[in-house]
Structure 1
Amino acid sequence: MLYTVGKAVTASGGPRTSPTAGARPGDEPTATSTSDPTPTVAGTDAEEDVRIAGCAVDSVTSWPAARMEIVNGSGAAADYYVTVEFLDEDGTRVADGIVGVVGLAPGRTAKKKAQGLDTAPDHVTCRITEVHRTPSVG
């Protein structure tokens, strides 16, 4: 999916209203232990666990940010590494951001911010480029 400030564009190309801007980082989840010494990550595909909840450019720094929601759809605690790119109106990448979550318990949600550190125009599109999910090790 592609997200723009105020609008999300689905794979079919149709617009969908997205949540309002105002990116704020969420709390870091705590690691959970599991009785199985070799946890497996089964359930949803990692890409299905991650979504962009908002996309904005800070009016003071001109840095773009994506508010991310990560829901662990697997059967064990998992670590996530997600990269996001920020595109201008022409589709040119102007910045990218990374967010990580460690020890997210099954079914739990983490709210994070992927922050770009390059100046961006007022209107950007946020796009998830990679999602890595691995079993959490303690």
Structure 2
Amino acid sequence: MLALLGTFLYFLGDALTESGKPRRAPSAESLPSQEPTVTASPTPAGTDAEEDVRIAGCTVDSVTAWPSARMEMVNGSGAAADYVVTVEFVDGDGARVTDGIVGVVGLAPGRTAKKKAQGLGEAPRDTKCRITGVHRTPAAG
């Protein structure tokens, strides 16, 4: 047990010295602040995120029978934004068949993006598309 303690102290002492000189702890001024920093994100001005997105078309592929929604997003905010849009595909009775998701990164204010939300799995020909969620966040840097 004493040998183990001695080995530990030897390596500890070796770690604390460099070239025979003891290491000095950095001064408090050179340490990064321990307080969390909060950077204010630009608050998008203009339209609500839901108003920025619309379904431009809803189809079921004739070969795979998988549904898809052609989405159009117009950034109505005052800053570049990222969008995540979820779409639900429902049959003629309104029962959910599958879901899809689409995203856009760094869409400039006033610009338009056209993307496709793809559903996975077979769907009936009378499938309809509906937006179930729109999330808009300020684009990074």
TM-score by length of 1: 0.72
- The question of 1:52 aligning with 2:55 is answered yes
Give, in whole Å, the separation in 2 of the partners of 1:40 and 1:135. Answer: 7
Q: Tell me which residue corresponds to 2:72.
A: 69
- The question of 1:132 aligning with 2:135 is answered yes
Local SS of the residue matching 2:132: strand
Structure number with the higher helix fraction is: 2
Match among 73, 88, 105 for residue 91 of structure 2: 88
Number of residues of Structure 1 aligned to a counterpart in Structure 2: 102
Match among 107, 114, 120 for residue 117 of structure 2: 114
Superposition deviation, residue 40 in structure 1: 2.3
Give, in whole Å, the separation in 2 of the partners of 1:60 and 1:125. Answer: 18
Local SS of the residue matching 2:86: strand
Local SS of the residue matching 1:75: coil
CA RMSD of aligned residues (A): 1.0
Is 1:39–1:136's contact at 8 Å kept on the other side of the alignment?
Answer: no
Question: Structure 1: where are the runs of 5+ without partners?
Answer: 1-36
Structure number with the higher strand fraction is: 1
Q: Is the radius of gyration larger for structure 1 or structure 2?
A: 2
Local SS of the residue matching 1:97: strand
Q: Which structure exhibits the higher relative contact order, with contacts defined as CA atoms closer than 8 Å and separated by 6 or more residues?
A: 1
Greater than 2 Å deviation, 4+ residue runs: 37-40
- The question of 1:104 aligning with 2:94 is answered no
1:40 partner amino acid: T
Identity %: 79
Give, in whole Å, the separation in 1 of the partners of 2:41 and 2:136. Answer: 15
Give, in whole Å, the separation in 1 of the partners of 2:48 and 2:63. Answer: 37
Local SS of the residue matching 1:113: strand
